[in-house]
Amino acid sequence: MTTKTVLVTGAQQGIGAAAARAFAAAGYDVAVNWLDNREAAEAIAVDIAATGRKAVLVQGDVGAAASCAALVQAAIDGLGHLDVLVNNAGIFPRVEFLQMTEAQWDAVLDVNLKGSAFCAQEAARHMVAAGIKGVILNLSSSSVRGAVLGVHYSATKTGVIGITRSMALALAPHGIRVNAIAPGLTDTAQPRYGNTDEELAEMAKAMPLGRMGRPEEIAGLMTYLASEPAAWITGQVYHINGGVYLA
């Protein structure tokens, strides 16, 4: 187990793709979880291979506990063991609160909250059994402050903070660290689902640092939190948002 390994969920694009590349650059073999775009996942695998690290493609939807267990096990089978889990997969279908349906609520909670919990559970079971003092990183969001078109989304990202703190306490006796990262407006496809480029530009200008975040900046924090210099950090939430939310 001299080579460190990581599974990144939702790694076919955006912050997840940046995380997969950053961990490879830091010397990790990487399991790239993808949902519906194998070509994009394969392109990321090529980038990982260019660093000299191993890439394993793991297809799967984190929206069901059984699927979480299967994709984590597939990553372990492909990599040999698992040191780090990045719970990045998430969805944010914008909807007015007064029009939100039960199905829309359930879909977002299944992927964003239940998926994070059960991927973490399966990864932690492996780490405990193998005696690995591993790391779990959960993706929250600055939407914990509220999201006009995302009552369901905000609920899940607030819930991610709760499960992060609770899992950190539960897994500390095993030497497993659990932290959360809460990005603000980041230059990915996700914010473009509900905003025009002009609207995004205005939102970026309103930030104290005057721009959107870059996926690579979020990924840089991930690799630090998984590293040995961060070995005494657990149960924390890191807001990375250009100063728009000073927690």
By annotation, the residues acting in catalysis are 153
CB 153 within 8 A of CB 143: yes
Q: Which residues does 74 contact at the CB level (< 8 Å), separation at least 6?
A: 31, 56, 58, 60
CB 182 within 8 A of CB 244: no
Amino acid letter at 208? P
Q: How many CA atoms lie within 13 A of 168 on its CB side?
A: 19
Locus of tokens 């640092």: 209
Amino acid letter at 100? M
**Number of helical H runs and strand E runs in the chain:** 8, 7
Kindly report the number of other CB atoms within 10 A of residue 216's CB atom: 15
Return the CA Rg of the chain. Answer: 17
* Cα 41 from Cα 230, distance rounded (Å): 29
